[in-house]
Structure 1
Amino acid sequence: MNEQSPAPELWSTIDDLYEWLDTNCPVEGREGLLLRILKLSEEVGEVSQAVIGATGQNPRKGVTHTWEDVEAELCDVVITALLALRALTPQAREMFGGHLERVRERSLASAPQ
């Protein structure tokens, strides 16, 4: 049985990372915010690269990644998206929670019975 350490509390970690980024960000203001949002595109591209690498779709390179690499890149996408949301609003936790609940209700309401 694999013992895993407990995951850090999501929103306190996002707040810590947000503060760290804000303190160390070379670009501030609206441009800094836009760049933080654009970072999400970069992370999604890394997911694509990992999937291509895990499936060996580039004949020149062969298999260059594992599915664990894909999982890690997907985690990076989630973290980056939450940080972008936190950059837009200090109420990111509440905003995300409310949105997730609406998506859950809408999705489960449309599920076949």
Structure 2
Amino acid sequence: MDDTWEIINSLARHLDSHSPLPAGEERWVLQALKLQEECGEVAEAVIGALALNPRKGHSHSWDDVRKEACDVAVSALVLLSRMGGDPRWFFEEHLQALRRRDLPGQ
């Protein structure tokens, strides 16, 4: 996972270098909205995988759902990176807190 954070941080720098918004909270809000958009694409893919939209039918596969879920994860990690500090440390600390809370004894 060493390359993961290098890629995430590079994506964040790339987005920041092309953003017309001033650095800071406005960019964070935009990235949070992007995260929400990606969540909507997961929902759309699930509906398509289950063929629940009669107009579109079976429009997606479960692999499409997986890809969209990856986009959600990447967007969330890019948000952490764009917010500054040490996103890897913050994420790892949060993950450990979840483990202590939800997986006691592990």
- TM superposition score normalised by structure 2: 0.90
Q: How big is the shift at 1:9? A: 1.3
* C-alpha distance in 2 between matches for 1:28 and 1:73: 29
- Between structure 1 and structure 2, the one with the greater Rg is 1
The match for 2:95 is 100
Q: How big is the shift at 1:8? A: 7.3
Specify every segment of 5 or more residues in structure 1 that has no aligned partner in the other structure, as ranges: 1-6
Q: How big is the shift at 1:37? A: 1.3
Which of 5, 10, 14 matches 1:11?
5
Cα deviation, 1:10-29, whole Å, max 9, x if unaligned, reads: 11111111111111112223
Percent sequence identity is 42
| Letter matched to residue 97 of structure 2 | R
Q: Does 1:77 align with 2:72?
A: yes
Which of 42, 51, 55 matches 1:56?
51
Structure 2 SS opposite 1:90: coil
Please identify, of 86-95 and 47-56, the stretch whose mean Cα deviation from structure 2 is larger. 86-95
* C-alpha distance in 1 between matches for 2:70 and 2:89: 21
* C-alpha distance in 2 between matches for 1:65 and 1:33: 30
Q: How big is the shift at 1:50? A: 0.3
Specify every segment of 5 or more residues in structure 2 that has no aligned partner in the other structure, as ranges: none
The match for 1:26 is 20
Q: How big is the shift at 1:110? A: 7.7
Higher relative contact order (CA 8 A, sep 6+): 2
Cα deviation, 1:17-59, whole Å, max 9, x if unaligned, reads: 1111111112223322211111111000000000000100001
Q: For the aligned residues, what is the CA RMSD? A: 1.8
Structure 1 SS opposite 2:47: helix
Q: How big is the shift at 1:60? A: 1.4
